[in-house]
Structure 1
Amino acid sequence: MKDKIIIAVLIVIMLLNGIDVFVDIDLNVPIWHVLQESAIVFISGIAAMFLIYDLRKRTTSLNRLSTQLKEADTQIQSLSGKIETERKHYGQVIKAQFEDWGLTMGEQQVAILILKGLSLKEIASVRDTKETTVRQQASSLYAKSNLVGRHEFSAWFLEDFLNFK
């Protein structure tokens, strides 16, 4: 908005000084005065044209950036939907693996919380059970999965994601 006001002011200065130049010529004012006011008209016109050019250039750039931002938002929405779909699919794969190992519902709950990074004490608190019960269920799920401990158990589910090709 400031640029438009400055452009308008420069155009008004240019027009008023332009009119003054013609009046001064008719009144036979000294040439140096006419040249001085003509320079003001010329400089005001150049400055106004420069600002108009710059304003159009910035407007074009902003429109392009706005379009790119809308496209990026669309891509993010699309990716978010795909990620959600894949997250659900991965959850189903994990659940199917738990069932293949023959984990009980309690062991499955413990397994999920282990995968989320909770300690056995935290799992006991979340499930409102004793820590010894959680330890027994964790030991049982490690035995059924033929994996040794929480690190190997968690790594088993992450290994495919870390396989860079």
Structure 2
Amino acid sequence: MSRTAILWSLFALQAICCAYFLMDITWDLLWPGFYNRWAESDVIEALVTLALFLGLVFTGNELRSLLGRQTELEDQIRIASGAFSEVLEARFHDWSLTAAEREVAILAIKGFSIAEMADLRDTKQGTIKAQCASVYRKADVAGRLQLLSIFLDDLIADDLVSTGQPRSAQG
């Protein structure tokens, strides 16, 4: 079960409890029956209802905040994904890769094996090996990991590597 579903479930449970206690207090105040209108149990129920109501407000606010943060993070991922695509295209253009070499380079970066790439592209493994070798030669790298590191270097700020600390800790 997702965190959002759990939070909504807790929110619903608190709302049901709050409604129950409000109904019980209303019933006790309008038709006190055998009990004193301000009996100890009613005061306790009122305090519990107040606590549940405050919890309901807090949970609702927290849920709204978390959902807003989730939306922000999803937007950042989309932006980063777009930035990565732009970096890929710029590098591929600089290296003068053919369309087939671009496809093979992307599959290699994604971590597909030679056999998987051959199956996906409906070609022979020897052709894929030759295309990979051409990509590595044009990119001036020794293999797949160095190819990937070129793109990671473009996306990661140098100051993260030099100090080993997150940007916020650098002062």
Separation in 2, partners of 1:134, 1:114: 10
Query: 1:74: how far off?
Result: 1.9
**1:57 matched residue in structure 2:** 51
Contact kept? 1:147, 1:153, Cα under 8 Å: yes
Pair 1:150-2:144 in alignment: yes
**1:36 matched residue in structure 2:** none
TM-score w.r.t. length of structure 2: 0.71
TM-score w.r.t. length of structure 1: 0.73
1:95 to 85, 89, 92: 89
Which 4+ residue blocks in structure 1 deviate beyond 6 angstroms? none
Contact kept? 2:87, 2:151, Cα under 8 Å: no
| Structure 1 SS opposite 2:112 | coil
Larger radius of gyration: 1
Contact kept? 1:124, 1:134, Cα under 8 Å: yes
1:3 to 15, 21, 25: 21
Contact kept? 1:10, 1:45, Cα under 8 Å: no
Separation in 2, partners of 1:142, 1:96: 16
Q: CA RMSD in A?
A: 2.4
Letter in 2 for 1:124: A
Query: 1:124: how far off?
Result: 0.7
Pair 1:141-2:135 in alignment: yes
Q: How is 1:16-165 mapped onto 2 (pairs within 5 angstroms)?
A: 16-17=33-34, 41=36, 45-159=39-153, 160-161=155-156, 164=160, 165=165
Separation in 2, partners of 1:49, 1:11: 11
**Paired residues, what number?**
141
**1:23 matched residue in structure 2:** none
Q: 1:152 to 1:162 in 2, by over 3 A?
A: farther
Structure 2 residue ranges without an equivalent (≥5): 1-18, 166-171
Letter in 2 for 1:101: W
Letter in 2 for 1:16: G
